[in-house]
Structure 1
Amino acid sequence: MDGSIFDYIIVGAGSAGCALAEGLTRDGRNSVLLIEAGGSDRKFWIKVPIGYGVNFANPRLNWGYHAEPDPALNGREVYWPRGRVIGGSSSINAMAYVRGLPQDFDDWVSQGAEGWSWEAVRPAFERMERHLERDAEGRPRQRWDGPLWVSDLSDQMNPFSRRFLAAAGECGWAQCEDLSAATAEGVGYYRSTVRNGLRCSSADAFLAPARRRANLKVVSQAVVERITFAGRRATGVTLRLRDVRLTVRAGREVILSAGAVNSPKLLQLSGIGPAELLKSYGIAPRHDLGEVGRGLQDHLAISHLFRATAPTLNNVLGRMAPRLWAGMRYLSTRRGPLGVPVNQVGGFLRSDPGQPVPDLQIYCNPLSYWSSPAGRPVLDREPGFLLSAQLCRPDSRGEIVLRSANPEDAPVIRANSLATEHDRDGARRCLRIIDRLAAAPSLAGVVRERLVPEPAMTDPEELMNDYRARASTVFHPTSTCRMGSGPGTSVLDPRLRVHGIGGLRVVDSSAFPSVTSGNTNAPTMMLATRAAEMILEDAATGRQERELAHAT
């Protein structure tokens, strides 16, 4: 493969890279190389929806990053799992499918990402989705016919989850029938990227059909170390395939889809980023682009755990005989407790009537568990449940920077949590909303005790101290190569091209101008779906060639 030429080289076979590969190969005209650092996703616990807990800390599927000590979180080095496997993080995530709220995308436009409004992106969501749901009589039906299956699994969810909806109603919150497409305040059952009882990752939805095309080559277990250039035009990449270093060339473009952590890392390793930072590691700056790696945003959530007097999913998963029964049922029918992700109920809420739009997202799981410092989930053997809340739109921003010039070294992740009063107040609102929900009769009536934090902890300042001691990322990093109006404030233009460099784009969640209100997997795949269309349009109109010639 050394010296081979492909029209397009995509770095990263994750949520974005798989969707991008499908779009670019569909008409058969372009040769595409898709490079993934991890290995195969054909593993039992990847495909089984409840396997999220098994894969969460599996080093064979995961980069296993940790952020730097975070002053606002008592100096903790929070665990940051990122998928290192075909399908990327869509192969190890909790499968909750949420587009985001309309104002998220309209705000992108206000930050310079022209053409990314809600009205512009909504059709792309619809093109890629295939909803499996039920009509008013409970009969199955399909809506849209895209490749990505989004399933309503409410008929299989643990019976305890109905208590969450009842409690939400007692709090005065509306019920949302399709939380995946929520546009306003509401609580409902999460829809999941599950197809016939199996995870439907970006690899399953997009890459599987693309693999049947002769114009796509997928290389796994290969780490891209640098981008190659001719002047100010990207010409290919150097990669390490096991113990061999190779160079492959791109006839049209190199596209980074390595995620919000690794895409800025690769740009910096290649000499694109803050010049002084690059020089400090002995890297000759090719293009001084100061915003590369900056602007990092993420969702920070707090969970409260409760022991219950009514049965929950702990009664099944926490005990040997019921767990074996659930396993046998799943193997024979692909239904039941093992066929449903752990995130079952949640929604978007206004923390008070003065909020013009929802400002908090909640998760209500009929299972009590926690994570060890190494990131391994620990399951409570007694019946219990979890209530979790996060601020939808934090405005703190961190950064991703190189640790060294060695591609094998993990980058430095500075989350910079709770850096603004807006975010600190948001944390307090999260605590109040959890208390309000827990006090609703449908839940309060079945609470045996609050397990974490301890029941005696009721003072708001004590609870805020507990927040700092336990709050954690929910794995939604974005915005480290964000779109915008120019190189002074962003890394990419609205067509996802790196400012000042020809033949180079970034297509993944790092391109978000700001984090969306909810889970980021859906908008990442949407962004890649639109990006493929943009790339082919630019090639067809000759716009790309003119701009590459100018950049060179």
Structure 2
Amino acid sequence: MDVSCDCCSSIFRSLLLFWEPARHQPGEVVRRLPIMSTPPIHETDVLIVGAGTAGCVLARRLVETTSARVLLIEAGPRYPAWALAAPLAGLRLRPHWSWQHQTLPQAALNHRSIPIPMGRVVGGTSSVNAMVAAPGPPSDFDDWARLGCPGWSARDLATELGEATLRDGGLQHAAGLPIGTPTFESPFSTAFVAACVQSGLHHEQPLTGTQAQSCGVFPLFQQKGQRCSTAGRLVGLERHPRFRLLTGHTVRRVLFAGQQATGVELQCGTRRKTVRATAGVVLSAGALQTPTLLQLSGVGPALLLRGAQIDVQLDLPEVGEGLQDHVGAPVVIRSAVPSPGRPSRWVTAALQWLWNRSGVMTSNCCEAGCFLGPAAGLPEGEIFTHFQTRRAAQSVEMMCTLLRPASRGTVRIDPAHTAGPAWIDPGYLSEQADRDALRELLVQARQIAAQPALREFGLQAELLPGDQPLDEYLRAYATTCHHPVGTCRMGTDPGAVVGPDLRVHGLSRLWIADNSIAPVIPRGHTATTALVIALRGSRLIAAQLDGEAGGSPPPRPALPRSPGGAGDPPPTDAGAAGLRG
């Protein structure tokens, strides 16, 4: 099946290359972000590392609300709308635009190394993920406040949560990204929701995860059948005199003068150069890259840095500690109903999407789910559907996911090879409580599968776990759900990496604004968390910039309104038409 899917991905990509240029009428201007590598950039005011889910939103907000020159640096290329805008096809093509992270062998998972791909493209993981806009309960942020993050409770974040989440069940802009309900729903997803209701769960439509014991179809960062990436937040900035985007450049380290961040060292191919940041540096590279970059810059556990022969700028022992991720395992069942996304239909489906942006190509494959919680004596978990799986032909999958795992891990540079991949050790299922909870979620998934709605749909024999003992099965099949957080924990205690103002403790003019700051993992999908952090971070950093300037900023050039801006009409090509690479 893998070979067939790869072949169909190639066919779809060829169709896109053939069809897309013809879609534009003579004289129509297809806006693009300019190539920012020339003229050379030597200095800026605010330098943001990582044009990802948070970084793109943060960059636009800082240009809008301050007088600072903003430089946004991304290791990957510009957003390739021709490849990623079609949701289902984009999921197949995403390895081309991802960091191919691998964990260290996991002791509790039969010493398997688990892939954790993350976006390496403008828009970051929002350009390659499943687009689910189900952030979980707002009370998660109350947990942050209780853990020493004043100003980060749900009440404190009411404005940011209002901008970043779906309200009233209708289409809205989340930090400039349209959120909507899917236009395609597979028969399996429909039957799954009905089976959840039959098992006693509440039907919430759309399903945002705000309450446990609920089920439904997920809202998506999608509009008119196309992915909406935060890359769309950069449309409209291309001619602004205070904004620059630099792609294809990897930041190797942050530079300091004393305890103050002054810029970064970049690498493009074999060439290295430095860029000065007069107001400061913001790290927005994600929970796996941000701690690595800090350690390479001499900020982290002193013992680790000395072992790597890196000069210690600041001994911060918790940099790279506290890694949390949602971990899950599937229940796979043979289906009498062929998948709507089976390889034999890809050409027809691709043509349908190219013609009117409809059909199975608009799907994210994991369309429906349910959230469970302790109120019903169940672990805090999520079960979501896959109407097609590579694990077996003509089968469906229910992915059982722990939302509040007790296991913790680390991200550390390799002391013997600092230029190579970091050592990522999530410690999946290292705590017995996690193994017990995930085993219980597998049992719950089986109970849902036994309901009349799914039997009538056509579920047949269970393929996985089947007759295997569940503990043995988890060791062989448990895997990541791609939501790493927590490696640069926010707090006011001496061990925290950043304070509630997002400034790195012990340093000046250095901030972190991504999911690495989360003191505890959210009970939902983490794209919305990154948006909330970016929105809150833009306000906090802007206030600090204005405070250092000694008062109100001088008048600044008017900012072109983004087609994807909050309250504006959405762009015709899902917020990214101007970002075709």
- TM-score, normalised relative to structure 2: 0.84
Per-residue deviation, 1:256: 0.5
Give me the whole-angstrom Cα distance separating, in 2, the residues matched to 1:213 and 1:392: 41
C-alpha deviations, 1:252-290, integer Å up to 9, x for none? 110001111110001001110000110001011110000
Which residue of structure 1 lines up, in the alignment, with residue 75 of structure 2?
37
| Structure 1: gaps (5+ residues) | 134-140, 371-379, 546-552
Which residue of structure 2 lines up, in the alignment, with residue 433 of structure 1?
444
- Aligned CA distance change for structure 1 residues 181 and 125 (closer, same or farther; 3 Å): farther
- Aligned CA distance change for structure 1 residues 28 and 484 (closer, same or farther; 3 Å): closer
Q: Secondary structure at the match of 1:285?
A: coil
Give me the whole-angstrom Cα distance separating, in 2, the residues matched to 1:518 and 1:45: 27
Q: Secondary structure at the match of 2:524?
A: coil
Q: How many residues in Structure 1 have an aligned counterpart in Structure 2?
A: 512
- Aligned CA distance change for structure 1 residues 77 and 514 (closer, same or farther; 3 Å): same
Matched to 2:197, the amino acid is G
Which residue of structure 2 lines up, in the alignment, with residue 329 of structure 1?
352
Matched to 2:179, the amino acid is V
Does the Cα contact within 8 Å between 1:2 and 1:247 map onto a contact in 2? no
- Aligned CA distance change for structure 1 residues 97 and 258 (closer, same or farther; 3 Å): same
Which residue of structure 2 lines up, in the alignment, with residue 171 of structure 1?
199
Matched to 1:186, the amino acid is S
Q: Secondary structure at the match of 2:187?
A: coil
Which residue of structure 2 lines up, in the alignment, with residue 466 of structure 1?
473
The reply to whether residue 527 of structure 1 matches residue 533 of structure 2 is yes
Does the Cα contact within 8 Å between 2:320 and 2:412 map onto a contact in 1? yes
Q: Which moved more, 1:493-502 or 1:432-441?
A: 432-441
Q: CA RMSD in A?
A: 2.1
Does the Cα contact within 8 Å between 1:26 and 1:210 map onto a contact in 2? no
Per-residue deviation, 1:175: 0.6
Per-residue deviation, 1:178: 2.7
The reply to whether residue 413 of structure 1 matches residue 451 of structure 2 is no
Give me the whole-angstrom Cα distance separating, in 2, the residues matched to 1:267 and 1:32: 21
- Aligned CA distance change for structure 1 residues 538 and 181 (closer, same or farther; 3 Å): farther
The reply to whether residue 240 of structure 1 matches residue 240 of structure 2 is no
C-alpha deviations, 1:314-352, integer Å up to 9, x for none? 2x33242x3222222111110110012111101211266
Give me the whole-angstrom Cα distance separating, in 2, the residues matched to 1:29 and 1:484: 29
Which residue of structure 2 lines up, in the alignment, with residue 342 of structure 1?
365
Which residue of structure 1 lines up, in the alignment, with residue 144 of structure 2?
108
Which residue of structure 2 lines up, in the alignment, with residue 5 of structure 1?
43
- TM-score, normalised relative to structure 1: 0.88
Which residue of structure 2 lines up, in the alignment, with residue 479 of structure 1?
486
Which residue of structure 1 lines up, in the alignment, with residue 89 of structure 2?
51
Give me the whole-angstrom Cα distance separating, in 2, the residues matched to 1:198 and 1:212: 26
- Aligned CA distance change for structure 1 residues 419 and 122 (closer, same or farther; 3 Å): farther
Structure 2 matches for 1:76-155, cutoff 5 A? 76-128=112-164, 142-143=171-172, 146-153=175-182, 155=183
Does the Cα contact within 8 Å between 1:131 and 1:144 map onto a contact in 2? no
Q: Secondary structure at the match of 2:329?
A: strand
Which residue of structure 1 lines up, in the alignment, with residue 455 of structure 2?
444
Give me the whole-angstrom Cα distance separating, in 1, the residues matched to 2:323 and 2:282: 20
Matched to 1:88, the amino acid is G
- Aligned CA distance change for structure 1 residues 131 and 104 (closer, same or farther; 3 Å): closer
Q: Which moved more, 1:114-123 or 1:492-501?
A: 114-123
The reply to whether residue 61 of structure 1 matches residue 97 of structure 2 is yes
Give me the whole-angstrom Cα distance separating, in 2, the residues matched to 1:477 and 1:231: 32
Give me the whole-angstrom Cα distance separating, in 1, the residues matched to 2:238 and 2:168: 25
The reply to whether residue 18 of structure 1 matches residue 56 of structure 2 is yes
Does the Cα contact within 8 Å between 2:107 and 2:430 map onto a contact in 1? no
Give me the whole-angstrom Cα distance separating, in 2, the residues matched to 1:160 and 1:268: 46
Does the Cα contact within 8 Å between 1:2 and 1:248 map onto a contact in 2? no
Q: Secondary structure at the match of 1:486?
A: coil
Per-residue deviation, 1:297: 0.3
Does the Cα contact within 8 Å between 2:435 and 2:471 map onto a contact in 1? no
Give me the whole-angstrom Cα distance separating, in 1, the residues matched to 2:166 and 2:109: 40
Per-residue deviation, 1:130: 7.0
Does the Cα contact within 8 Å between 2:331 and 2:400 map onto a contact in 1? no
Per-residue deviation, 1:44: 2.6
Which residue of structure 2 lines up, in the alignment, with residue 211 of structure 1?
238
- Aligned CA distance change for structure 1 residues 465 and 52 (closer, same or farther; 3 Å): farther
Does the Cα contact within 8 Å between 1:306 and 1:368 map onto a contact in 2? no
- Aligned CA distance change for structure 1 residues 146 and 231 (closer, same or farther; 3 Å): closer
Per-residue deviation, 1:473: 0.3
C-alpha deviations, 1:16-69, integer Å up to 9, x for none? 11111011111462100111011122243311110243134x2x4111011000
The reply to whether residue 366 of structure 1 matches residue 387 of structure 2 is yes
Which residue of structure 2 lines up, in the alignment, with residue 187 of structure 1?
215
Give me the whole-angstrom Cα distance separating, in 2, the residues matched to 1:335 and 1:213: 35
- Aligned CA distance change for structure 1 residues 3 and 162 (closer, same or farther; 3 Å): closer
| Structure 2: gaps (5+ residues) | 1-38, 552-581
Per-residue deviation, 1:182: 2.1
Give me the whole-angstrom Cα distance separating, in 2, the residues matched to 1:295 and 1:279: 21
Does the Cα contact within 8 Å between 1:3 and 1:249 map onto a contact in 2? no
Q: Secondary structure at the match of 2:112?
A: coil
Identity of aligned residues (%): 34
C-alpha deviations, 1:480-528, integer Å up to 9, x for none? 001011332x101011110000000111110111111111111111111
Matched to 2:546, the amino acid is A
